[in-house]
């Protein structure tokens, strides 16, 4: 009996065929070349516990091998050995040993602009060219769909530039379409998996809601004249006598919901990548790390970090509760929601189940919670109370004056007439916010470059030959 037959699928040429290492003149299975899923599958077949990290699973299988009769563990030639009985290097799906994979992982981790600027930039450009070629190839494979889309675009372009009574409706549609597209795009940038998201709620949507809130309480109305709203806010000539939170929420509902839909769209790449990997039978190293963490959750809570415990909670919630679990994870501010997308893709949860729950949670439930919080925080009484409390902070009295000055300046702008200039210098708060905005945008661009460079390195590692990998 061949030793490889001890493992299901071991002799069929599958991706999970184990390698063998010499031990006391014989050969033993090198379980480190198997994935966590395959290790648990073998433990289940032997009736052993499947809990623990990968190293614990390997040790449990090795102990089980030692308990086998000698003729089963026999000193036989491994299926990946040559005629002299020497084991060939590598037995993993990509032809790389665990040591070689570790070396590549370390090289990939060092691909950042502040450590290897030239190499990282070079890989970034190559990844961009590769993605462009793949896009062109996909467009060519879908020539009919591309032709229909181009034809539709030409028809819309002709209608847009043709004079007639329909132009007033075209103008209304154009205005709403561009406004919705703007906020959807910002939502996508906030959550798309390109290393780190651009925090567009803090930089754009939050300040927009805050500005509308301050203006609504100052003007006692939300009927701001257009133009210049939303670029500038001017109080209408007829001002009201009262203002409610629900009125302000209605004023910014469209922007908030479009931004929420954008964040839901930005969560799709992890879902599709995990689903494609599951259908193809491949296991990405990031997914394998998550799998090791999930199946080692029986450890004492003090051995896990707060982040790891959060990942386990999200994984279990999505896997056990399904639609309602996804909805729950999407309805709260959750920086770990990418894990929910990976889990749904890995377990082949239907697209509309995942996307529908994500849209409802992010664009409806969570956005109303965030809107209510910002409006409540920036209502007139609360803003004045916050400025009053500044005096209790160290150097608080010196901070009160510029904040009051900035608030009064913004209120004055709300009452100026269209066509008149407002003379005012730029406050230090505005300068600080501009510098913060620039810094976050620059960091976002750098994270994209680093992420694409690492993606190209990972792409290359799948085509490299074992003898081209450093053995040091």
Q: What is the pLDDT of residues 174-229, one digit of tens each?
A: 889 999 999 999 888 888 755 455 678 888 888 889 889 888 888 888 888 887 78
Helix (H, G, I), strand (E, B) or coil at 28: strand
Handedness of CA 458, 288, 313, 339 (dihedral sign): positive
User: Quick one: tokens of 386?
Assistant: 């916050």
Q: Which pLDDT value is given to residue 470?
A: 41
Q: Which pLDDT value is given to residue 103?
A: 76
For tokens 């409806």, the residue is 364
Is residue 337 a contact partner of residue 359, using CB atoms and an 8 Å limit? no
Predicted confidence (pLDDT) per residue in 291-337, tens digit? 666 655 555 555 566 666 766 777 777 777 778 888 888 888 766 67
Q: Which pLDDT value is given to residue 12?
A: 39
Greater model confidence, 290 or 331:
331
Cα three-residue angle 446-449-452, rounded to 5 degrees = 145
CB neighbour burial string for 160-194, b if at least 16 within 10 angstroms, e if fewer: eeeeeeeeeeeeeeeeeeeebeebbbbbbbbbbbb
Mean pLDDT of the chain: 75
Query: Cα–Cα distance between 447 and 124 in angstroms, integer?
Result: 11
Predicted confidence (pLDDT) per residue in 6-56, tens digit? 444 444 333 345 555 555 544 556 777 777 777 777 887 777 877 766 777
Query: Cα–Cα distance between 439 and 246 in angstroms, integer?
Result: 35
Is residue 411 a contact partner of residue 433, using CB atoms and an 8 Å limit? no
Query: Cα–Cα distance between 415 and 224 in angstroms, integer?
Result: 11
């Amino acid at each position: 009996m061949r030793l490889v037959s001890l493992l299901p699928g071991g002799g069929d040429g599958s991706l999970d065929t184990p390698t063998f290492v010499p031990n006391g003149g014989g050969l033993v299975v090198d379980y480190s070349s198997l994935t966590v899923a395959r290790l648990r599958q073998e433990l289940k077949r032997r009736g052993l516990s499947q809990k623990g990290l990968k190293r614990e699973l390997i040790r449990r299988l090795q102990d089980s091998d030692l308990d086998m009769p000698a003729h089963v563990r026999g000193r036989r030639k491994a299926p990946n050995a040559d005629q002299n009985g020497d084991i060939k290097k590598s037995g993993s799906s990509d032809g790389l040993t665990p040591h070689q994979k570790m070396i590549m992982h370390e090289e990939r981790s060092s691909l950042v602009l502040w450590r290897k600027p030239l190499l990282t930039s070079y890989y970034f450009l190559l990844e961009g060219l590769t993605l462009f070629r793949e896009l062109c190839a996909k467009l060519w494979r879908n020539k009919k769909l591309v032709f229909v889309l181009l034809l539709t675009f030409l028809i819309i372009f002709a209608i847009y530039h043709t004079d007639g009574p329909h132009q007033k409706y075209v103008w209304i549609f154009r205005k709403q379409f561009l406004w919705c597209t703007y906020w959807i795009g910002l939502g996508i940038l906030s959550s798309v998996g390109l290393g780190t998201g651009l925090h567009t709620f803090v930089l754009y949507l939050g300040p927009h809601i805050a500005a509308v809130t301050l203006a609504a309480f100052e003007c006692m109305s939300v009927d701001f004249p257009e133009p210049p709203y939303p670029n500038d806010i001017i109080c209408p000539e007829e001002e009201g006598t009262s203002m409610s939170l629900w009125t302000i929420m209605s004023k910014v509902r469209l922007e908030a919901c479009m931004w929420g839909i954008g964040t839901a769209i930005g969560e799709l790449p992890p879902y599709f990548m995990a689903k494609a990997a599951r259908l193809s039978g491949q296991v990405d190293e990031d997914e394998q790390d998550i799998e090791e963490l999930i199946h080692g959750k029986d450890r004492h809570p003090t051995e896990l970090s707060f982040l790891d415990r959060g990942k386990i909670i999200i994984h279990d919630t999505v896997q056990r509760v399904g639609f309602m679990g996804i909805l729950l994870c999407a309805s709260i501010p959750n920086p770990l929601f990418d894990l929910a997308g990976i889990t749904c893709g890995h377990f082949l949860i239907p697209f509309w189940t995942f996307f529908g729950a994500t849209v409802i949670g992010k664009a409806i439930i969570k956005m109303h919670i965030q809107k209510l919080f910002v409006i409540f925080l920036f209502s007139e009484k609360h803003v004045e109370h916050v400025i009053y409390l500044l005096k209790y902070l160290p150097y608080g009295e010196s901070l009160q004056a510029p904040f009051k000055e900035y608030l009064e300046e913004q209120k004055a702008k709300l009452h100026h007439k269209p066509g008149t200039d407002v003379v005012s210098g730029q406050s230090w708060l505005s300068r600080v916010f501009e510098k913060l905005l620039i810094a976050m945008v620059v960091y976002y661009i750098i994270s994209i470059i680093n992420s694409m460079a690492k993606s190209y390195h990972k792409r290359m590692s799948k085509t490299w030959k074992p003898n081209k990998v450093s053995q040091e």
